[in-house]
Each structure stands twice: as structure tokens, then as C-alpha cells.
């Protein structure tokens, strides 16, 4: 069952993004830019004013009738905490209501999940105490690569983290003493576009986000709602099978999209090209992209093949879902000039009617989308 709150969240995230970027702004201007109904805008604005997230300022000139009042973000009212749990490292950041990241720290993700989360909470507590002792924190948003039970903030299963039935919300809330909201990393990444994406896309209702990290996840906003499926969040399309006899995936099955187009897949491909069987070369995605940008043939070849597979998956999804925009995020977007033409050609070649394949495929607006997306997730507290 799709929760009504998801619809609200999208509209409110979009609306806050617009107020933040264009403040001071009137309700009428918001209606014009977003295409939302005045009634919808009024009810969201009133709620956000009551919660202290925005405030009404000076009156603008009247164009006949009542003078409009301008809306502003109440940036200093409270801060939010964003936590991005990654396979190798976990990053946490402090943000104000203007979406500005004021502080960011990383720790290595390691050990048993309960123990790690307690340690993470302790580290965060120390930082908040020493640097933000006088500040009120409204909430924390947590992004996790895995299937989640959204209502209880539990990670049901994360093949990449190797976590099962982990009560992330409970553990962190107990230690951090603030409301905690947990979201799948690709869904958080999709939110990062609503929060930081270009304003000229503010009316976009259907967006497909492809998050390429150690694994590969997808976040889908469809007809203005985050698509969460029927139960425990949504696994996304990362485990859609592209090669029935392909390599074994972290999920235990063969030939998932993730085994062909994720960061791990790209690194493994590069190692095969380098005949690095005993693992003597350690390479990260950053290294491979840097090598490719300097013209290294094997790094370029590894990325090109990844782009082919990205295109293959996107083609099928885009053909069926018909999104207005497809966003590709993760470090791979740093090789956009190399991968974009390959992805676009692939997508075009797979369309039943090639002339309608005018789909907009672009790189992410932010560098670590699952971290930036955790900020609007935290703001759910006000929705």
C-alpha cells in the first residue's frame, strides 16, 4: 500500500527546495512554478509555518486584491543530521534548513551492525556535543543500501552490508535522542534530486534514479510519488537478471544488473583486463575514472562496458516506465563524458519506436546523493 505521506513528502520537498532557492517568494509564484494547486500549496505552507520550518515576511506589491506575503526558510530554527551508511565508509553530516552542509565526517563501516551503529552514534554524539552544544536537532535521516521496513526503520536485508533484521531506527534514536527516519539509499538519492536538482525540473513528476555504488539500486518517483511497492520498501531493479548464466550476485542469484554495472563490477572488470588474478593491484572507482580521464585504455574499456550494461538496463526500464528524466548517480557520474553517449545510444537502439526515445538522461546534481538525500528524509519529521 502506498502511504499518503509519500505524496506529501514529495510535494513538500519540492516546495521547500523552491522557497529555499527563490526566497522571498509568494504562494502565487510557487503555484506558477510548481503547477501545484493553490489549496495544496496553502495546506503545506500552513503546516510548515506551524512547524517553524518557514515564516512569512514582508508584504509584496499587490496586483489588485490582497497583497501577497513572502515566504522565507527559517534556516536557523533547528538543524538536521544526515547519515549515509555505505559498504566501505559511513558519512554523517550536519545541515541547516537551507540544505547547507555545515559539517561532514566519515568513519569506516565495520563489525557487527549493532556494535557499529552504537559506535557511530557515540561518534556523532561527541561531534554534536563539542560543536553544536547549543543547537536543537530536529531529526536524523539515514540512508542504507538494502531493503528496509520503513515504518519501523529496520534493515530487513542488505546483501552488500551483510546486515539482516537490524533495528537501525531503534538503536540510533536511543543514543541520539532525536527522531530517526531510515530510507533505502537509492530512494534517498532520488530525493536528493528533488532537494538539490535543477529548478527547471520542478514540475517533473516521473523520475528514475540509478544509483551506482558498490551495488546498484534504483529509486523511482512515479506520478509525483515515491514508488515503494507493496511491502518492505522496494528492492529496486538492481537485481533484475540481465544474464541468466552470469556471475553470482551478492543476493545469491546469477547475472543481476548489479553484477554488470555496479562499481564492484567495474573494478572487477578492470582487474580482469589487467590480468590481476592474485589481487596485487588495489583500485577504486576514483582511480579507474582518473586513469580513463588520462586516456588509459584498460580503464576506459572497463568503464565503456559498464556504460553498455547501464544503457541496457535503463533502456528496458525507461521503455516500460516512460520517465521524464533518468538520473545516474554515484562516482561513475565523474566519467559522464565517456559513458553518456554509450548509454544514450543503447537506450535509443532498444526503443520500439526510436523517434520517441527523446528521454532526458543526465548525471546526478550532487556528489554523494545518498548522503544529500538523507537531509529531506530527516525533514519528514515536519511533514
Contact region for Zn ion (CB under 5 A) — 8-16, 55-63, 90-98, 245-253?
245-253
Q: Which of 251, 301, 340, 357 binds Zn ion (CB under 5 A)?
A: 251
Print the binding letters for residues 256-295 with Zn ion: x by CB under 5 A, - otherwise. x---------------------------------------
Q: Are 258 and 249 in contact (CB under 8 A)?
A: yes
**Residue 275 to residues 122, 268, 279, 281, Cα–Cα distance (Å):** 43, 10, 9, 10
Site map 192..231 versus Zn ion, x via CB under 5 A? ----------------------------------------
Distance CA 181, CA 141 (A): 5
**What are the DSSP calls for 49-114, one per residue?**
HHTTSEEEEEE---SSSSPPEEEEE-TTS-EEEEEEE-SSEEEEEEE-TT--EEEEEEEE--S-HH
Please identify, using beta-carbon distances, which residue of 256 and 359 lies nearer to Zn ion: 256
User: Is the CB of 194 or the CB of 249 nearer to Zn ion?
Assistant: 249
54: contact with Zn ion by CB under 5 A: no
Q: Give the Cα separation of 269 and 364 in Å (integer).
A: 24
- Residue whose CB is less far from Zn ion, 87 or 251: 251
Pick the closer one to Zn ion by CB: 268 or 273: 268
Tell me the three cell numbers of residue 303. 568503464
> Closest separation between CB of residue 219 and Zn ion, Å?
17
Within the chain, how many helices (H) and strands (E) appear? 13, 15
- Grid cell locating 48: 510548515
Tell me whether residue 99 or residue 255 sits nearer to Zn ion (CB atom): 255
User: Which run of H or E residues covers position 312?
Assistant: helix 297-321
Q: Please choose, out of 110-118, 128-136, 247-255, 338-346, the segment that lies near Zn ion by the rule CB under 5 A.
A: 247-255
Region binding Zn ion by CB under 5 A among candidate stretches 39-47, 191-199, 236-244, 261-269: 236-244
Q: What minimum distance in Å lies between the beta carbon of 214 and Zn ion? A: 13
The residue whose grid cell reads 554524539 is 125
* Minimum gap (Å) between residue 215 Cβ and Zn ion: 8
Minimum CB separation of residue 264 from Zn ion in Å reads: 12
User: Residue 169 or residue 269: which is nearer to Zn ion going by CB?
Assistant: 269
Residues 191-216 as b/e (b if ≥16 CB within 10 A, e otherwise) read: bbbbbbbeeebbebebbbbbbbbbbb
Q: How many CA atoms within 13 Å lie on the side-chain side of 257?
A: 24
Which SS3 state, helix, strand or coil, does residue 13 take?
helix
Min separation Cβ 223 and Zn ion, Å: 28
Nearer Cβ to Zn ion, position 78 or 212?
Answer: 212
The Cα 180–Cα 175 span in angstroms is 11
Helix-strand-coil percent breakdown of the chain, rounded to 5? 45, 25, 35
- Beta carbon of residue 250, minimum distance to Zn ion (angstroms, whole number): 6
Q: How far is the CB of 149 from Zn ion (least distance, A)?
A: 20
C-beta closer to Zn ion: residue 78 or 249: 249
**In the set 17, 239, 269, 346, which binds Zn ion (CB under 5 A)?**
239
Minimum distance from residue 241 beta carbon to Zn ion (Å): 8
The long-range contacts involving 96-101, CB below 8 angstroms and separated by at least 24 positions, are 97/16, 97/20, 97/53, 97/73, 97/379, 98/20, 98/73, 99/17, 99/20, 99/195, 99/196, 99/375, 100/75, 101/372
Q: Which stretch binds Zn ion (CB under 5 A): 66-74, 141-149, 248-256, 312-320?
A: 248-256
CA 28 to chain centre: 29
Q: Count residues binding Zn ion (CB under 5 A).
A: 4
- 155 binding Zn ion? (CB under 5 A): no
Q: Which stretch binds Zn ion (CB under 5 A): 8-16, 53-61, 84-92, 246-254?
A: 246-254
Alpha-carbon distances of 21 from 53, 230, 251, 323, 380, rounded to whole Å? 15, 35, 41, 25, 19
Omega before 24 within 30 of 0, i.e. cis: yes
Closer to Zn ion by Cβ: residue 83 or 249: 249
Does position 249 interact with Zn ion (CB under 5 A)? The reply is: yes
User: Of 100-108, 114-122, 253-261, 314-322, which part binds Zn ion (CB under 5 A)?
Assistant: 253-261
Residues that bind Zn ion (CB under 5 A): 239, 249, 251, 256
Amino acid at each position: 500500500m502506498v502511504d499518503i505521506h509519500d505524496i506529501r513528502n514529495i510535494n513538500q520537498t519540492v516546495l521547500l527546495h523552491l522557497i529555499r532557492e527563490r526566497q522571498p517568494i509568494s504562494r502565487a509564484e510557487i503555484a506558477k512554478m510548481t503547477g501545484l494547486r493553490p489549496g495544496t500549496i496553502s495546506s503545506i505552507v500552513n503546516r510548515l509555518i506551524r512547524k517553524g520550518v518557514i515564516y512569512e515576511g514582508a508584504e509584496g506589491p499587490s496586483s489588485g486584491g490582497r497583497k501577497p506575503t513572502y515566504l522565507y526558510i527559517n534556516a536557523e530554527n533547528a538543524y538536521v543530521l544526515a547519515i549515509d551508511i555505505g559498504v566501505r565508509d559511513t558519512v554523517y553530516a550536519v545541515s541547516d534548513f537551507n540544505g547547507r552542509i555545515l559539517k561532514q565526517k566519515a568513519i569506516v563501516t565495520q563489525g557487527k551492525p549493532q556494535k557499529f551503529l552504537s559506535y557511530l552514534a557515540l561518534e556523532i554524539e561527541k561531534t554534536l556535543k563539542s560543536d553544536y552544544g547549543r543547537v536543537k536537532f530536529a531529526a536524523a535521516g539515514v540512508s542504507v543500501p538494502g531493503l528496509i521496513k520503513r515504518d519501523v526503520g529496520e534493515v530487513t536485508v542488505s546483501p552488500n552490508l551483510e546486515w539482516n533484521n537490524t533495528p537501525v531506527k531503534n538503536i540510533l534514536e536511543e543514543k541520539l535522542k532525536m527522531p530517526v527516519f531510515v530510507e533505502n539509499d537509492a530512494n534517498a538519492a532520488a530525493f536528493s534530486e528533488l532537494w538539490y536538482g535543477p529548478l527547471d525540473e520542478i514540475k517533473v513528476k516521473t523520475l528514475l534514479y540509478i544509483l551506482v555504488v558498490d551495488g546498484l539500486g534504483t529509486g523511482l518517483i512515479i506520478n509525483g510519488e515515491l514508488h515503494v511497492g507493496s511491502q518492505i520498501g522496494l528492492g529496486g531493479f538492481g537485481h533484475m537478471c540481465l544474464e541468466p548464466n552470469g556471475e553470482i550476485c551478492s543476493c545469491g542469484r546469477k547475472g543481476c544488473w548489479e553484477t554488470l554495472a555496479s562499481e564492484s563490477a567495474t573494478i572487477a572488470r578492470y582487474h580482469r583486463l589487467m590480468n590481476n588474478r592474485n589481487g596485487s593491484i588495489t583500485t577504486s572507482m576514483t582511480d579507474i575514472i582518473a586513469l580513463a580521464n588520462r586516456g588509459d585504455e584498460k580503464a576506459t574499456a572497463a568503464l565503456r562496458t559498464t556504460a553498455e550494461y547501464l544503457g541496457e538496463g535503463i533502456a528496458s526500464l525507461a521503455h516500460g516506465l516512460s520517465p521524464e528524466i533518468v538520473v545516474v548517480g554515484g562516482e561513475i557520474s565523474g566519467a559522464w563524458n565517456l559513458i553518456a553517449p554509450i548509454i544514450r545510444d543503447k537506450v535509443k537502439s532498444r526503443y520500439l519506436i526510436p523517434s520517441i526515445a527523446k528521454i532526458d538522461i543526465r548525471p546526478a546534481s550532487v556528489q554523494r546523493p545518498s548522503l544529500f538525500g538523507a537531509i529531506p528524509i530527516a525533514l519528514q519529521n515536519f511533514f
